[in-house]
């Protein structure tokens, strides 16, 4: 059993504690939170130790694996401390506040021979996993567009980053994951309506190396939560509803049956059948932590690397820059 600790037990970190407590492969060593009351409340709930200083948690409990779920501006310092203490580290997304910080974490993890994973949880959505399997089987043919809608109300607790770094990083990682392609150019329109310091609305595009287009429609200004993904290609369109973990396929009637195996030229698009695929549902965070633990126990690469986290962060930063400067930005991964 691996001894697990969580640094930062707010909205997200407390779920890491709950799952480490549930898994048969881990047992809780303790939690740290600068807010003593918050730390003690979670520690009591899961019968573990609470610290206000994460360095003390690391020294006294000697965990083998640590989740970092403090606000993004503190990721670097807390993750570095955990790596230097000999721990394998899972950092909540985004990996860090700057690419220099992200780079240092990747380098230190390599030098110290520790695993470093980034919590890009959307990859572990069972509907996204089912979609990925179907894309690998070639069920969509060539992919033309990946469109992500991530809309909802303003989360008052997020003060240190804007909506692009906080939310678009989810979709930027997912676009790379689903297509296996890297970005070559980004463009964004951004605005700041409610947030005191950063942008809270993004309409963005990402051009991938093979010509696939990623579209991002993301904000903190919509009074209902929408989490939707569509992937359009030769044979139709897949739709994922992240909130219900449902996967749908809208068939292009022009490309069914005999043309299934060899589409060299897309001759047309017309409405075909709509299929709702059965998806075996589970909690994405549990699958994420299991993936992290399996990589440690079997000494395999982690499912989402520090480099993946850094590319998502750099893409998000390029979108912020594009929005500020009003021009497209060339991107080299």
Question: What are phi and psi for residue 142, nearest 5 degrees?
Answer: -65, 140
Per-residue contact flags (x/-) with ligand NAD for residues 13 to 32, judged by CB under 6 A: x------------------x
Nearest distance from C-beta of residue 177 to ligand NAD, angstroms = 14
Q: Shortest approach of ligand NAD to residue 182 CB, angstroms?
A: 23
Cβ atoms < 10 Å from Cβ of 300? 11
Under the binding rule (CB under 6 A), the answer on residue 242 touching ligand NAD is no
Show the CA angle centred on residue 61, arms to residues 57 and 65, nearest 5°.
85
Q: How far apart are the first and last CA of the chain?
A: 37
Spell out a b/e string for 271-280, using b for 16 or more CB atoms within 10 Å of the CB, else e: ebeeeeeebe
Three-state SS string across 72-122, please?
A: HHHHHHHHHHHHHCCCEEEEECCCCCCHHHHHHHHHHHHHHCCCEEEECHH
CA atoms within 13 A on the CB side of 209: 8
Q: Cβ of residue 57: shortest distance to ligand NAD, in angstroms?
A: 9
Give whichever of 143 and 161 is closer to ligand NAD, judged by the CB atom. Answer: 161
Closest CA to 123 of 256, 264, 305, 272: 305
306 token code pair: 């520090």
Considering beta carbons, is residue 69 or 116 the nearer one to ligand NAD? 69
Closest distance between ligand NAD and the C-beta of residue 289, in Å?
12
For residue 209, state whether it binds ligand NAD (rule: CB under 6 A): no
- Which is closer to ligand NAD, CB of 50 or CB of 178? 50
CB of 140 to ligand NAD, least distance (A): 26
Pairing outcome for strands 116-119 and 2-7? unpaired
Q: Which residue is nearest to ligand NAD (CB)?
A: 10
Q: One symbol per residue from 133 to 172: x for binding ligand NAD (CB under 6 A), - otherwise; what is it?
A: ------------------------x--------x------
111 vs 156, which CB is nearer to ligand NAD?
156
12 binds ligand NAD (CB under 6 A): yes
Q: Which of residues 93-122 bind ligand NAD (CB under 6 A)?
A: 93, 119, 121
Q: Which residue has the tokens 């469109």?
A: 147
Work out how close the CB of 95 gets to ligand NAD at its nearest, in angstroms, rounded to a whole number: 9
Query: Does 303 participate in binding ligand NAD (rule CB under 6 A)?
Result: no
Q: Tell me which of 3, 10, 182, 215 binds ligand NAD, using CB under 6 A.
A: 10
- Quickly count: other Cβ atoms within 10 Å of residue 145's Cβ: 14
Greatest alpha-carbon span in the chain:
66
Residue 229: phi and psi, rounded to 5, are -135, 135
Q: Let me know: does 158 contact 166? Beta carbons within 8 Å.
A: yes
Check: CB of residue 251 under 8 Å from CB of residue 236. Answer: yes
Q: Does 35 participate in binding ligand NAD (rule CB under 6 A)?
A: yes
Question: Tokens 């998000």, residue?
Answer: 316
List the interface residues with ligand NAD, window 53-72 (CB under 6 A): 54, 69-72
34 sits near ligand NAD (criterion: CB under 6 A): yes
235 binds ligand NAD (CB under 6 A): no
CA 122 to chain centre: 5
Measured from the CB of residue 22, what is the shortest distance to ligand NAD in angstroms? Answer: 18
Size of the residue set binding ligand NAD (CB under 6 A)? 24
Q: Which residues bind ligand NAD (CB under 6 A)?
A: 7-13, 32-35, 38, 54, 69-72, 74, 92-93, 119, 121, 157, 166
């Amino acid at each position: 059993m691996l001894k697990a600790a969580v640094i930062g037990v707010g909205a997200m970190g407390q779920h890491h504690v709950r799952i480490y407590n549930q898994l048969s492969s881990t047992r809780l060593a303790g939690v740290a939170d600068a807010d003593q009351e918050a730390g003690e409340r979670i520690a009591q709930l899961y019968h573990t130790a609470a610290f206000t200083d994460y360095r003390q948690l690391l020294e006294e409990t000697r965990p083998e694996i640590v989740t970092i779920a403090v606000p993004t501006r503190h990721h670097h310092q807390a993750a570095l401390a955990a790596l230097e203490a000999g721990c394998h580290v899972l950092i909540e997304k985004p990996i860090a506040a700057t690419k220099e910080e992200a780079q240092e974490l990747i380098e230190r993890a390599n030098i110290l021979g520790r695993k470093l994973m980034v919590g890009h949880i959307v990859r572990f959505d069972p509907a996204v996993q089912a979609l990925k399997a179907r894309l690998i089987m070639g069920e969509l043919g060539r992919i033309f567009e990946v469109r992500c809608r991530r809309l909802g109300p303003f989360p008052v607790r997020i003060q240190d980053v804007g909506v692009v770094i906080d939310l678009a990083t989810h979709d930027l990682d997912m676009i790379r994951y689903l297509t296996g392609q890297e970005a070559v150019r980004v463009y964004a329109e951004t605005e700041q309506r409610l947030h005191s310091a950063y942008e809270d609305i993004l309409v963005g595009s990402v051009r991938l190396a093979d010509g696939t287009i990623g579209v991002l429609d993301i904000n903190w200004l919509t009074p209902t939560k929408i989490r939707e993904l569509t992937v359009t290609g030769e044979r139709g369109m897949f739709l994922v509803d992240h909130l219900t973990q449902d996967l749908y396929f809208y068939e292009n009637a022009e490309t069914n049956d005999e043309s299934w195996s060899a589409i060299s030229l897309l001759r047309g698009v017309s409405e075909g059948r709509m299929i709702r695929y059965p998806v075996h549902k589970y909690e994405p965070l549990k699958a994420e932590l299991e993936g992290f633990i399996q990589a440690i126990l079997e000494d395999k690469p982690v499912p989402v690397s520090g480099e993946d986290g850094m590319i998502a962060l750099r893409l998000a930063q390029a979108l912020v820059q594009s929005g500020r400067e009003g021009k497209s930005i060339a991107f080299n991964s």
